[in-house]
Structure 1
Amino acid sequence: MILRTAALNVYALLVAASAPFTVGSAIAESEVTRGPPRVPSEIIIYIHPEVTDRDFVGPLVCELEKVLVAPVSAKDLPLLLGSGLKATQTQLDATQVADRFRQATMAEGDSSAFKHFIMAQDITVRPYNYLFASTFGIDGETSQLQIISTARIASRYSKPPTAAQIALTTQRLYKIIIRSIVQSTGNASLSGCVMSFANSIVEHDRKSSDFCSPDRAHLVHQGVLREREIDGCQAVAQGKSRGLVSFSRLE
């Protein structure tokens, strides 16, 4: 099974003209690949061990559980990210990482589980100079696999990190993941509020974390979003008792 970029949630920013790859515009997003309607059975967030500042993990799971019907869990994934995956001297090829990610997790969850891999190293795919995140398609269909790099989106931490820094990183990741989830349910045409594309990290921070009212009503009817938001942290506690949330080596 071959992975190809579906660009459902690609945040691509070009660096200086001297960078390895250059395209015509300063900021670019590939065409969205549409797929059949799909409702996630669960959301699994995998954290690479190189992501050492992990204070955002618990709050991120809380925020997702607050709005999503599907249970959310998080766990370590010590995926080997060697030099063979390099696209440049300093970046990994997101497509190759996604393929390795798929192989490593294919036995976990059912075919409707949405999986997101958060890693620390910088990533790219042609023709972009770098990516914040990318969702991939399998055999031409909309996929549930997303690769996210914290290299350019994590708030720079003081030691110890402040509450504001943790909140900012959490919010950035939440917006990226929730957008990918909704697009992976077959709703790639939604483009307002939290579903809007940001041309820069400034725009990403400025855009709403909420859904536009008509979009939210549609997603509630589809079974993706809860009709009413709940206390996400309480949901996490309940999920732990059901074995749905695993923070191995994350706490």
Structure 2
Amino acid sequence: MFSTFGGPPAAFVHKGGEGCHHSPRRLSMETKDHGNDEEVTLRTGFAPFDELFGPFTSGEIHLMVGRTELTNALMNRLIVNAARKGMYAYYADGGNRADPFAMAGILRMHREDPRGALQRVMIARAFTAYQMDTLINVNLGKLGEAPPLLLVSSLDSIFSDPEVDTDAAEGMLKNCMNSLDGMAAKGSCVVIAASGGSRGGDLLPLITPHCSAWVSLRSRQNGRVRIITKGGRWMDLSMVHPLQTMIDDFRALPAAAEAL
């Protein structure tokens, strides 16, 4: 049902012990004092995107909608940057999107040992709506503490399964969002990737009200991609070469990040 990278299959459990006992406070990347709390901030390292969208922060749910290869690449970067700083990352992977090989490649570019860093990354895969429901609404509840970084991919499309009754699928998704709200309230930095296409677009209204920030990555003509934030800021990216496969193969066009 589930597979993990760095832990056993049934739930998010660090392989060094019986459960996840690592405090998000100790594993913070960058912190800001807020009374008794500390705020985790995390960036992708892809400068044009980071300048437009800003950091991903603890206690919030962030949504990326659009081209799967781009949202996957950005999530890979978030995981790598978290792992490099000693933060544990938990990835609820809908549709087999997580790519440990890509993560390892990014780590090698930073001259870091992938094996050591990726021990802090745990991936649980869900291929059906029922598996994702179990992963988020059951398995996350088994954690001793909220994970510092929690990512979910293909959340809209996995609940658009024609084999699942619409009311049942919407009910499971609503429960998932409530569970993710709970993780954010406990201090997790939650990042969701959704396709927003024909398979999942109808379910986005069940997701967006829970998100403090969202960004859309949409294909345009001539290989361009337009990024639009919730606040109305936008940027156009163009391909550096036609056979590109990585987010770094895009460049921001001039006068990109202006308000609409």
TM-score scaled by length of structure 2: 0.27
TM-score scaled by length of structure 1: 0.28
Higher RCO (C-alpha under 8 Å, 6+ residues apart): 1
Q: Greater strand percent: which structure? A: 2
